[in-house]
Chain A
Amino acid sequence: MTTAGTETVLAPPRAKTAALSATVRRKQGFQHGGWFVAPFLALFVLFVVWPLVRGVYLSFTDANIAGDSANFVGLDNYREALQDPQMWDALGHSAYFTLLVVPCITVLAFLLAMLAHHIEHAKWLWRLCFFAPFLLPSTVAGNLWQWLFNPGTGMINHVFGLETPWLTDKSYAMFAIVITTLWWTVGFSFLLYLAALQGIPAHLYEAAKLDGANAWHRMIHITMPMLRNITGLVIALQILASLQVFDQAVVMMDFSPGPEESTRTFVQFTLEEGFTSYRVGYASAISIIFFVIIASVALARMWLLRNREEGGR
């Protein structure tokens, strides 16, 4: 590796002005790029497009896990799904989780980044400490916190002198998962904020200092506005990731839906219907509903971004 950071801006040597006689050759160079795209496209069609098409097809059938010939059942699966209290519960749990996690993680990541950015000694150490949990596999993080939350032998209750039944009472179970998730994933958003902070030109602050702005003013008038885009990005990524929560929740609850089914997430519900109840058709219908929800969130963000850009101009 030569220059390590990707933030390096490449400054290529000025190209010679192309000779007129070479125009044809030059144009040819950029033609017929299909071959470049082909390998990716093949994988993409096989493992992204085709499953989507297949999912739509299966959602209109009563297919089972063994892949037997399935019967066409029309909209029955969708009708059943929309009337299935379990589906709404599961959707509610994922939404509730998202509602709890997203604001916490955004604020926490910002504060951690500010802290790490402003401490001038041993910068690598803070980055390491705050980011390290993110490098653990989700299941390891889940197991670790299941152990920490354990009644009796767990460290959390011991250290804080509590007797909270974190994982066995429905009023605490979701919070336990949220706490685990914060610890485990805040590092990612933290890095994004840190990179954005480092990207703010120093001369802005120097100019403000000359104008007599104190630290608080500099944060309100320079840092915060400069971080607006990144905050939007962090929130959007977190919403999409949180709605798809699965790993740590099932691991902490030993693959059960939690106390009184209070932590069954949407993804878990889909997999249970497909792989535990063997109802692949029904599970596909639920998946498609989920896809529509996720796509709406993503499209809403694009729409917001475009609106803001237009408003800004």
Chain B
Amino acid sequence: MGRPDLNRRQLLGGIGGLAVAGSFGFAALGTGADALASGADARVRYWNLFSGGDGANMIAMLDAFRKENPGIDVKDSTFQWGNPFYSKLAMAAAGNRAPDLGVMHLGRITGFSPGRLLDPWDVDLLAKYGVREADFNPDLWKRAVIDGKLYALPLDIHVQLCFYRKDVLKKAGLLGDDGRIVPVTSTGEWFDVLKEAKKATKKGLQTIGFWINDQNFQWWFFVAFYTQLGGTWFNAANSEVTFDTDKAVQVLEFLRQHVTDGYANPGMGSVGAEQFMNGAPFAWEGNWSVPVFSGAKLDYGATPLPPVFGKQATHAESHAFVLPHQSDRGGATNEAAHQLAAYVVQHAQQWAAGGHIPAYTPTLSTAAYKELNPQSEYVSAMDHQATEPKVWFAGSTGILAQRIGPIVVSSTMGSAKPEAVARRMKGALTQLLGMKNPMDGRTAAQGGAVA
């Protein structure tokens, strides 16, 4: 071993030492490279769960905001949709490391411990940036108010839709004179429609994609059709389960029949949208698929889920802005968070392109919105909302959906009989009603964090 070797070792040692020292220094600073690089007056950390088309629209709105407000640096982060996002948001708020602004589903607000994990909005500050109560659907606004304080600023209403390919349905003779799908008012009519559509479908494609193995979608569809039948969940005091197993069986059998009659292929459960784009006549999807299908230049329409049990009703939820709890909330960053949320809510035209129905009502009456298609075809869905019961364990991907969704799937997939599944659902509901909200130790009947 000669000198050069020693030098090399010294060099390696030097580099290693620098790396170690640098790493420790970086860790001591503790904010991450991006925050270090930011030189703006206010840096708003904003967390959302918008992927795909929604994500692109949100980013476009944020970019517009950034252009108009160069003094505010917006750091947006998109998380895996559903529970990973809610876990992260709760853990960050509990650990007092919450972002400045977040997005949640309105149904989850009550269970998210307003006052503990969420901070209330400063209504005056919102008004300063142009957002007032009068501009919102009163029912929607009411759901966001808890103990007299506003905890959520609604952005939209989003619904489950029945997408259909006009080109395929035309071949099958299922389009009316107005170029829209023929009306369907019973399960019999619906399956007749599927039968005709199947004949006109290309080989290798299923007739309808409706997320057979997805616990969330199956649960949402169940809620929609169960509401069409006039089914209820709990009594007014949330002390008794009023779930009607006979009605539930009807819904479950209806969903299952899509599989047994060969219209939906279990192997294609998660790729319904791709199948639809390749020419499958139907897909039941959330309205967020509108930009995907429009982007693919399909000739298609979208209606609320068909009223096969006689009454209109389709599952609906809302996205809303929230302020995750920070013990030192205030100052320029907090004001910037208000400003950003107010801006996005008011500039929801872009958001409507993503298929959502804007919560800010002035948007709905603009000519630009009325021209949007197929949005105008299903905007009526906001008047027939089927929502989960208003209890602490409800809301998008909440405990209720987590517990009951898989039970619904087991029926649709055929691993369990509808009667047994309905009984299990009732059992689960009974158990949940007796459960205490971990955040305040009260059951739903005791008013566990319910507004």
Residues of chain A at the chain B interface (Cβ within 8 Å): 2, 62, 64-68, 71, 150-153, 163-165, 167-170, 254-257, 259-261, 271-272, 275-282
Contact at B82–A66, with CB atoms within 8 Å?
Answer: no
Residue from B82, B213, B215, B269 whose CB has the most chain A CB atoms within 10 Å: B213
A56 to B441, CA, bound (A): 20
Question: Is B380 part of the contact surface with A, judged by Cβ < 8 Å?
Answer: no
Contacts of B212 in A (CB 8 A): 168
Q: Which of A153, A254, A281 has the most CB of B within 10 A?
A: A254
Chain B residues whose C-beta falls within 8 Å of the C-beta of A2 in the assembled complex: 1
Decide: B267 and A66 in contact? CB cutoff 8 A: no
Give complex CA distance A2, B406 in Å.
59
**CB neighbors of A among B396-449 (8 A):** 399, 402, 406, 409-410, 413, 415, 436, 438-439, 441
Contact A275 B268 (CB under 8 A): no
**In the bound complex, what is the Cα–Cα distance between A66 and B409 (angstroms)?**
33
- Closest B residue, CB atoms, query A283: B438
Contact B436 A168 (CB under 8 A): no
Cross-chain contact A62 with B438 (CB below 8 angstroms): yes
A-B contact list, 13 entries, CB within 8 Å:
A66-B113, A66-B116, A66-B439, A151-B268, A152-B271, A163-B267, A168-B213, A254-B80, A256-B82, A261-B406, A275-B91, A277-B399, A281-B438
**Closest chain B residue, CB of each to CB of A80:** B435
Residues of chain A within 8 A (CB-CB) of B410 are: 260
Which residue from chain B places its CB closest to the CB of A152 in the assembled complex? B271
Contact yes or no, B215 A65, CB < 8 A: no
Interface: B270 (CB within 8 A): yes
Q: Is there contact, CB below 8 Å, between B409 and A276?
A: no
Q: What does DSSP make chain B's interface, helix, strand, loop or mixed?
A: helix
Partner pick for A169 among B1, B83, B267, B406, CB 8 A cutoff? B267
Residues 252 to 302 of chain B near chain A (Cβ within 8 Å) = 266-271, 274
B84 in the interface, Cβ–Cβ < 8 Å?
yes
Q: How large is the interface on B (under 10, 10 to 19, 20 to 34, 35 or more residues)?
A: 35 or more
A255: B residues at CB distance < 8 A: 80, 82-84
In the assembled complex, the CB of B212 is this many whole angstroms from the nearest CB of chain A, namely 8
Determine the chain A residues whose CB is within 8 A of the CB of B84 once the complex forms.
Answer: 255
A282 neighbours in B (Cβ, 8 Å): 438
Residue B200 at the A interface, CB < 8 A? no
Cα of A272 to Cα of B402 in the assembled complex, Å: 10
Evaluate contact between A168 and B267: CB separation under 8 angstroms.
yes
B268 touches A272 (CB 8 A): no
Assess A279 versus B438: contact at CB under 8 Å? Given A163-B267, A255-B80. yes
Q: Which of B80, B117, B215, B266 contacts A66 (CB 8 A)?
A: B117
Let me know if B219 is at the binding interface, CB within 8 A: no
Q: In the complex the two chains form, what is the Cα distance from A255 to B215 in whole Å?
A: 12
CA distance A163 to B80 in the complex (A): 28
Set of chain A residues within 8 Å of B86, measured between Cβ atoms: 276
Is B90 positioned at the interface, with any CB of A under 8 Å from its CB? Answer: yes
Q: Which 10 A-B pairs have the closest CB atoms?
A: A165-B267, A64-B438, A275-B87, A168-B213, A279-B438, A261-B406, A278-B438, A168-B269, A66-B94, A255-B84
**Shortest CB–CB separation between residue B17 and chain A, in angstroms?**
16
Interface string of B89-106 (1 = CB under 8 A from A): 011011000000000000
A71 to B271, CA, bound (A): 47
Question: Which residue of chain B lies nearest to A255 when distances are taken between CB atoms in the complex?
Answer: B84
Q: Is B267's CB under 8 angstroms from A276's CB?
A: no
A278 engages B439 (CB within 8 Å):
yes
Min Cβ gap A54→B in Å is: 16
For the complex formed, measure the closest distance between the CB of A262 and the CB atoms of chain B, giving whole angstroms: 9
User: Nearest-CB distance from A161 to chain B (Å)?
Assistant: 14
Q: With A and B bound together, what is the CA distance between A302 and B181 in angstroms?
A: 70
Separation of A278 and B94 alpha carbons in the complex (Å): 10
- Which residues from B are CB-within-8-Å of A153? 274
Q: Judge whether B267 and A164 touch: CB under 8 Å.
A: yes
User: Is the beta-carbon distance between B266 and A65 smaller than 8 angstroms?
Assistant: no
A67 to B1, CA, bound (A): 60
**Are B439 and A260 interface neighbours, CB within 8 A?**
no
Which of B80, B113, B270, B441 contacts A71, CB < 8 Å?
B441
CB under 8 Å from chain A, chain B span 202-229: 212-213, 215
- Which of B82, B90, B274, B413 is A260 in contact with, Cβ under 8 Å? B413
Q: Once the chains are docked, how many angstroms separate the CA of A292 from the CA of B91?
A: 27
Q: Smallest distance from the beta carbon of A188 to chain B beta carbons, Å?
A: 26
A279 to B410, CA, bound (A): 27
Known contacts: A151-B270, A163-B267. The answer to whether A259 contacts B117 by CB under 8 A is: no
Cβ contact within 8 Å between A260 and B94: no
CB distance from B404 to the nearest CB of A (A): 11
User: Which residues does chain A contribute within 8 Å of B267, judged by CB atoms?
Assistant: 151, 163-165, 168-169
- State in angstroms the CA–CA spacing of A147 and B410 once bound together: 25
- What are the residues of chain B within 8 A of A281 when measuring CB–CB? 438
Scoring B1, B268, B402, B438 by chain A CB atoms within 10 A of each residue's CB, the highest score goes to: B438
Cα separation A222 to B137 with both chains bound (whole Å): 81
List the B side residues contacting A259 at CB < 8 Å: 213, 409, 413
A277: which B residues are within 8 A, CB to CB? 399, 438
Question: How many angstroms from the CA of A164 to the CA of B267 in the assembled complex?
Answer: 7
Contact A275 B90 (CB under 8 A): yes
| Contact among A64, A150, A254, A275 with B439 in the assembled complex (CB-CB below 8 Å) | A64
Establish whether residues B213 and A278, one from each chain, have CB atoms under 8 Å apart when the complex forms.
no
Find the B residue at minimum CB distance from A278.
B438
CA distance A68 to B441 in the complex (A): 11
- Sample of 13 further A-B pairs with CB below 8 A, known A66-B113, A165-B266, A276-B87: A62-B438, A64-B438, A66-B117, A68-B116, A152-B268, A165-B269, A168-B266, A168-B270, A255-B83, A256-B215, A277-B438, A279-B438, A280-B438
* Chain A residue with Cβ nearest B81: A254
Structural contact, B270 and A167, CB atoms closer than 8 A: yes
Residues of B within 8 Å of A168, CB to CB, are 212-213, 266-267, 269-270
Which B residue sits closest to A2, measured CB to CB? Answer: B1
Q: A169-B213, A255-B84, A275-B90 are in contact. Are A62 and B415 (CB under 8 A)?
A: no
Q: How far is the CA of A164 from the CA of B409 in the complex (A)?
A: 19
Kindly provide the distance from the CB of A176 to the nearest chain B CB, expressed in whole angstroms.
Answer: 13
Chain A residues closer than 8 Å to B93, beta-carbon distance: 66
Q: Which residues of B contact A279 (CB under 8 A)?
A: 438
Partner pick for B441 among A62, A65, A167, CB 8 A cutoff: A62
Of chain A, the residue at the smallest CB distance from B269 is A168
CB-CB under 8 A from A257, the residues of chain B are: 406
